[in-house]
Amino acid sequence: MSSEARVSSLDVARRAGVSRSAVSRVFTPGASASAETAAKVRRAAEELGYRPNALARAVITGRSRIIGLIVAYLDNQFYPVALERLSNALQERGYHILIFTAGNRDEDISGILQELIEFQVDGIITASVGMTNDLTRRCAAAGIPVVMFNRGQPGSGLSSVTSANRAGGAKLAEFLVAGGHARIAHVAGWQGSSTGVDRKTGFVDRLAALGREPLDVIDGMYDREITMAATRDLMARPAPPDAIFAGSDHTAFAVMDVLRGELGLDVPGDVSVVGYDDVPIAAWPGYDLTTIRQPVGRMVEATVETLLAQIEAPDRPAQALEIAGDLILRGSARIPEGYGP
């Protein structure tokens, strides 16, 4: 064979003494082949310098084995952790990953989706990205299933996986009331997102059930600078809050930086602060943040299983999954009697 000739799977099959379909199974993620066959095929491939052609396999099978991941932003430390786990979980199942970042502007998301459609991806996961009806129709027309991660969109016809955001907000309301706080404010997550709305709703509704109402609810937009400005405004009032629930850990850190770094206040002596997500930095001694833990491992597992099931069965009905998260007690908030060990 000429040194310049391209080695084919047929060449490998002949060298290994197996069928061409056996070679294909060995190099197809998820396909079955005996250990003996796999060893012979891989040895023959190495001897011949064979490399499987993923593009050719995609043409034959109709599957690219590529998944598109679209994330709105990476400022929130929750998303790098979640994206790493999603990528690892999908790669373990034999998929390649394309990651795009986008804001919530429809034209940005539309352009990314068009690229993913042209790449003929097998599926798409959106992380805190909204989907218009037009975008949803385009994916459906291309036969590409979409699962929304950490964002729900009722009526979209898309599957979603979130933490139980309303329940988490309610837990924080109960915790702060039990701690004896009299003036509780909420610097909420973006009210154009289901997560921000659900956390706020659970929080405010549970306060009402306990005979309380928030000092104020301000849309912090999941933005550090907006949250810092809201904190300054709250603390400048004649009767400032003695507790603040920030809509994410990312914004809770901003609240604490203003309270301690700018205003010289003690947390939790002067003001208790709680967040939502339990990103790794929340456990750092500098913040020691009490928060609701988003069960990222279970959320990732559910997202991957849901997407792969829809790839295998395109007519599978959409489902909205909510996974409960625990209240994680640390030192940023007064811990009431009956909580903790």
Query: Is the model's pLDDT at 2 over the cut of 50?
Result: no
Residue of higher predicted confidence among 46 and 28: 46
Q: Choose the most confident range, by mean pLDDT, from 102-106, 119-123, 199-203.
A: 199-203
The first and second tokens of residue 45, run together, are 């491939």
Residue of higher predicted confidence among 341 and 219: 219
285 and 173 assigned to the same domain: yes
Average pLDDT, stretch 188-214?
95
In a domain, residue 334? The reply is: no
In a domain, residue 341? The reply is: no
Beta strand extents in 90-158 (DSSP E only): 96-101, 123-127, 146-149
170 and 212 assigned to the same domain: yes
What pLDDT is attached to residue 117? 81
In a domain, residue 211? The reply is: yes
184 and 284 assigned to the same domain: yes
The Cα–Cα gap between 3 and 6 comes to 8
In a domain, residue 329? The reply is: no
User: What residues have CB less than 8 Å from 287, skipping those under 6 apart?
Assistant: 252, 253, 256, 281, 332
249 and 302 assigned to the same domain: no
Query: Is the model's pLDDT at 56 over the cut of 80?
Result: no
pLDDT in tens, 272-286: 999 999 999 999 999
185 and 251 assigned to the same domain: yes
Query: Is the model's pLDDT at 319 over the cut of 70?
Result: yes
**DSSP 8-state symbol, 164:** -
By three-state DSSP, how is residue 306 classified? helix
197 and 217 assigned to the same domain: yes
216 and 287 assigned to the same domain: yes
Return the minimum-mean-pLDDT range out of 3-17, 140-154, 291-305: 3-17
What pLDDT is attached to residue 57? 59
191 and 285 assigned to the same domain: yes
In a domain, residue 3? The reply is: no
What pLDDT is attached to residue 30? 64
pLDDT in tens, 106-119: 567 788 888 888 87
In a domain, residue 266? The reply is: yes
Compute the half-sphere exposure of residue 150: CA atoms within 13 Å on the CB side of its CA.
Answer: 29
Confidence of residue 22 (pLDDT cuts 50, 70, 90): confident
93 and 194 assigned to the same domain: no
Return the minimum-mean-pLDDT range out of 2-11, 75-84, 110-119: 2-11
Range 8-14 contact pairs with CB under 8 angstroms and sequence separation of 24 or more? 8/50, 9/50, 9/52, 11/48, 11/50, 12/41, 12/44, 12/45, 12/48, 12/50, 13/41
Q: Global pTM? A: 0.82
Q: What value does the mean pLDDT of the chain take?
A: 89
The CATH number covering residue 244 comes to 3.40.50.2300
The Cα–Cα gap between 73 and 100 comes to 10
Query: Is the model's pLDDT at 255 over the cut of 60?
Result: yes
Cα 38 → chain centroid? 36
What pLDDT is attached to residue 73? 77
What pLDDT is attached to residue 206? 98
In a domain, residue 337? The reply is: no
Query: Is the model's pLDDT at 5 over the cut of 80?
Result: no
169 and 280 assigned to the same domain: yes
Domain count, the chain: 3
What pLDDT is attached to residue 62? 60
What pLDDT is attached to residue 176? 98
Nearest of 187, 296, 322 to residue 247 by alpha carbon = 187
Query: Is the model's pLDDT at 126 over the cut of 50?
Result: yes
257 and 308 assigned to the same domain: no
Query: Is the model's pLDDT at 60 over the cut of 60?
Result: no
Confidence of residue 333 (pLDDT cuts 50, 70, 90): very high
* H-type alpha helices, 223-322: 224-235, 249-256, 296-312
**DSSP 8-state symbol, 285:** T
In a domain, residue 103? The reply is: yes
Average pLDDT, stretch 161-171?
97
Residue span of the structural domain in which 20 resides? 9-52
The first and second tokens of residue 6, run together, are 């391209």
Return the minimum-mean-pLDDT range out of 4-8, 120-124, 183-187: 4-8
- Per cent of the chain over pLDDT 70 is 92
pLDDT in tens, 300-311: 999 999 999 999
Query: Is the model's pLDDT at 3 over the cut of 50?
Result: no
180 and 190 assigned to the same domain: yes
pLDDT in tens, 207-224: 999 999 999 999 999 999
**Are the beta carbons of 149 and 161 closer than 8 angstroms?**
yes
**Are the beta carbons of 22 and 13 closer than 8 angstroms?**
yes
pLDDT in tens, 90-105: 988 888 888 888 765 5
Give the DSSP per-residue string, 66-92: EEEEEES-S-STHHHHHHHHHHHHHHH
Strand 159-163 and strand 320-323: pairing? Answer: parallel
Cα 13 → chain centroid? 42
